[in-house]
Structure 1
Amino acid sequence: MEVALLLKIFAWVLVWQFQSSTADLDLYGDPYCLAEDPGPYVMFSSKTPYIFSRGSFSPEALVPEGCEAVQAWHICRHGTRYAGDSDIVQFEAELPRLQKLILEASDAGKGELCPEDLSNLQSWSLGVLNVSWASILAPEGEQELQELAARYKLALPTLLDYSFSNESFKFRHTASQRTKASARAYARGLFGETGDTIYIPEPLDPDPVIKFYDLCSKYIKEVDDNPEATIEAKMFQEGPEIAKVVQEATRRLGINITFGDAETMYDACRYYKAWDPAALSPWCAAFTPENLKVLEYWEDLLYYYEDGYGHAINYESACPPIQDLVQHFRKFVVTGQGPRGIFYFTHSGALNKVMTRLGLYKDSVPLTHDNFDPNRLWRTSHNGMFATNLAFTLSRCEDERGWWVSTLASEKAVQLPGCLSEQGCSWQDFYNFYGQYEACDFDGICENGKKDSPRESGEKFYNWQLIVKRLRELWEDFISIWH
């Protein structure tokens, strides 16, 4: 009797071990092979290529029947960029080493990668990538912004199909190469080759409207410079879900890896996919789709607490862009004057905070390390990918609707709090809900001091930049005349 019981327990243990070690086989094959997956998982949080998450809108989603568009206000995250300098240094130092170890392990009969994935990994090379490329806009990013603008121009021909003038179109970007290049790419989508030469003002550094969080003392103190602000992401990183990812990747690759190794391979997986969305990214083979979903949630936790609903100051500080939007639309409603299009180019930190301030993608339960929910609303793969954008359109209607406001988030219709449907809402309803932000007490919200507040310091620095730039231009003119 005791022997039979022991045998039964032993059998249960074997079954449990088999089920645990093959958890990724039931859904994705025996074992999972990236090269043979017709629909691989490509949701990579903020590094997701725009093409995988953007919507597909109809002109009616922007302008209802019987209405005419009179003003467009767009705020865009830069397109796909190259990795940052620290990531590139890490790629150079670690990826060739890991590649060598994985291939050696395979030759020794270790690991579970299929022959196709091993072949792709063997063919991979760092190529010409180096730190001089750090964080600059990639060709894929230029294409994302140019095509985005072209689609809006096609949908709003009576508003946007016009030659550029300073009075009709207003462009603004932050002081970075990737936002400047994104603005130029967007301009090419609207104006063709002349988009490379249109006037775009020199950036404010920092910018009080589209990079407002760099001027917010409370945000910098309580979130940006506070490691405890993102403790939930840290706890998740140290929890069982991430430990399982590292364990399963170790088994798949046939080598012992750390979380740092897994993070490096994950970054390589998603960056190389973003740079060439049509190609297979060999480093993604280190993970199963379920592993990637766990890593995606880990990133979502970071952004939730850095930019989203995790801390009130994140979204409370985001009133300057909304103030700018409301002021532009109200001026047109009252006076009939203003530019045809206002186009801003910034970063994920701004877009995430503005979308949160608007009340979008809010889960009923806060995201924490111990409530991993694959069906959550806060998904930066869907709402914070490369080239994320918000597009507001003001229209004049012939009927009782009067003025109308529509909203698209990355080319998907969204229903704003205060609006009755995804089709938008009347200007009056929109203003009743968001008009409060026209009186944005940014310095009060951010607890900025009256003397040398971050905002004042930024504006002073910008004024000196303009003076230096003008002096340089005068000197260059003098040299050219002299010669």
Structure 2
Amino acid sequence: MCNVPFDKIYVDATYKERAYESAFWYVYGLLNLTDSSQFNFAFDGPQDATADSVKDGIEQLQQKLIFDINPPENDTVLRFYDACEKYVVSVDDNDTAMYQVTDFENTTTFQSSLQLLSDSFCAEGGLCSMNETILSNIYTACSHAQMMFNDYAPCEYIPQEVLETFEYCSDLKVYYKSYRGYNISYTSSCYLTRVITQDIQKAVKHDIIKRKKADEKECEQFEETAVNHDVTVKTGENEEIGDGSDQVFSHIVRAAHAETVLPVLGIMDAVYTEPLTADTYSIYRNFHSSRLAPMAANIIFTVYYSPERSQSRKPENSYFDNYFVTILLNERLLYLDGLNDPLRPNSPVPYKKFTQFLDTCSIEEFEKMCEETEEL
């Protein structure tokens, strides 16, 4: 069993069954609960579990660690896209906001692909009654089967150029609803990115204080640097995050929709791309939503203490220089322009550079944007 104390794990999940169940399975693996005698459940994995047994397991975990399941109302951290009524009305529920998608669906390229797909499923010389919705569902079944089961059978009769055209149509929707098509589509994740930044800052500050207590020889020097480099979170006014001792966890798990990940990637401008439009279709574009959020998605922020990696050798330098952060997207290292060193793209990022990079959006500006009545 892992030696992670229960009181050092915090789980925050939306009130959605698949969200808090995925959080449960993550913690299940983290703690290797199959070998734990502290629980009344033991199964090898999701394939051996029933809905009732998972529910029972979650209830038992809630007694051991902080496992919050948030109601949908006012969940600005994980359901931030619902916190701005203007976004819901102007983008999410507004077909006209997807005019680039509509324009692309009316192009010769897309209509030719529809006809080609229809011909692939219609008997030669016969009439085909498949409409655009049915054909789109065929593409969806193909993409889902590939992603979830590595099964290419549903795609057998779909020409490659049709797959590419339908993928671009899907990317257009994602780009405008959840990425950087509209400012309001991604800045809503300021709530979540602020919390992520705070969590990391608290963890680092707590670790520095702990190391200070364990290192009496450098206590006086540390006191000076800790005061001079106090960590703050910018929320319009500088607010201290505390003394680093309260509500600090070694593992924080947040589970929501895959669509929650995309605006966070938008904040970080994870994929630099020229604006996607109906007229800029290209199979060589940088933005492919299926690579960012393939059915499900996750971002992992890991903080390292590595004094040997620090470029600061002078004793007066901040202890914060000894901390580094890596970002993984779907368990793979994520390279970000303006953050990672292009000469060492796989190296962890200095902590202070990371917090400055992520703490770039203003919640006040976003909330003001939500109150404005002008068109997008």
TM-score, length basis structure 1: 0.55
2:254 partner letter: Y
Q: Which residue of 2 aligns with 1:419?
A: 339
1: CA distance, partners of 2:14 / 2:136? 29
C-alpha RMSD of matched pairs (Å): 2.3
Please tell me whether residue 247 in structure 1 is matched to residue 170 in structure 2. Answer: no
Q: Which residue of 1 aligns with 2:363?
A: 440
Equivalent in 156, 159, 165 of residue 294 of structure 1? 165
The runs of 5 or more residues in structure 2 that have no matched partner are 40-53, 208-244, 311-320
Q: Which residue of 2 aligns with 1:259?
A: 132
Equivalent in 286, 295, 298 of residue 386 of structure 1? 295
Q: Which residue of 2 aligns with 1:238?
A: 106
Structure 1 pair 251/225, CA: closer, same or farther in 2 (3 Å)? closer
Q: Which residue of 2 aligns with 1:405?
A: 325
Shift in Å, 1:332: 2.1
Shift in Å, 1:436: 4.2
Aligned partners of 1:217 and 1:448 also within 8 Å: no
Q: Which residue of 2 aligns with 1:377?
A: 286
1: CA distance, partners of 2:369 / 2:29? 37
Identity %: 23
Q: Which residue of 2 aligns with 1:221?
A: 89
Equivalent in 190, 194, 199 of residue 319 of structure 1? 190
Shift in Å, 1:173: 1.3
Q: How many corresponding residue pairs?
A: 285
Shift in Å, 1:417: 4.5
1:216-254 CA-partner distances (Å, limit 9, x unpaired): 122113211221111111111122122112221233223
Q: Which residue of 2 aligns with 1:156?
A: none
Aligned partners of 1:309 and 1:362 also within 8 Å: no
1: CA distance, partners of 2:142 / 2:171? 17
Which structure has the higher relative contact order (CA within 8 Å, separation 6+)? Answer: 1
Structure 1 pair 343/250, CA: closer, same or farther in 2 (3 Å)? same
User: What aligned pairs does 1:168-179 form with structure 2 within 5 A after superposition?
Assistant: 168-179=8-19
Structure 1 pair 253/420, CA: closer, same or farther in 2 (3 Å)? closer
Shift in Å, 1:431: 2.2
Q: Which residue of 1 aligns with 2:45?
A: none
Shift in Å, 1:267: 2.3
Report SS of the residue matched to 1:202: strand
Aligned partners of 1:212 and 1:318 also within 8 Å: yes
Shift in Å, 1:367: 0.6
1:56-98 CA-partner distances (Å, limit 9, x unpaired): xxxxxxxxxxxxxxxxxxxxxxxxxxxxxxxxxxxxxxxxxxx
Structure 1 pair 284/162, CA: closer, same or farther in 2 (3 Å)? same
Aligned partners of 1:310 and 1:366 also within 8 Å: yes
Q: What stretches of structure 1 move > 4 A for 4+ residues in a row?
A: none
TM-score, length basis structure 2: 0.70
1:367-389 CA-partner distances (Å, limit 9, x unpaired): 11111121222111111112211
Please tell me whether residue 205 in structure 1 is matched to residue 72 in structure 2. Answer: yes
1: CA distance, partners of 2:167 / 2:265? 19
1: CA distance, partners of 2:30 / 2:338? 31
Bigger radius of gyration, 1 or 2?
1
Q: Which residue of 2 aligns with 1:428?
A: 352
Shift in Å, 1:424: 3.0
Report SS of the residue matched to 1:344: strand
Report SS of the residue matched to 1:296: helix
Bigger helix share? 1
Q: Which residue of 2 aligns with 1:357?
A: 267
Equivalent in 153, 162, 168 of residue 3 of structure 2? 162
1: CA distance, partners of 2:5 / 2:85? 38
Report SS of the residue matched to 1:446: helix
1: CA distance, partners of 2:99 / 2:329? 29
Shift in Å, 1:168: 0.5
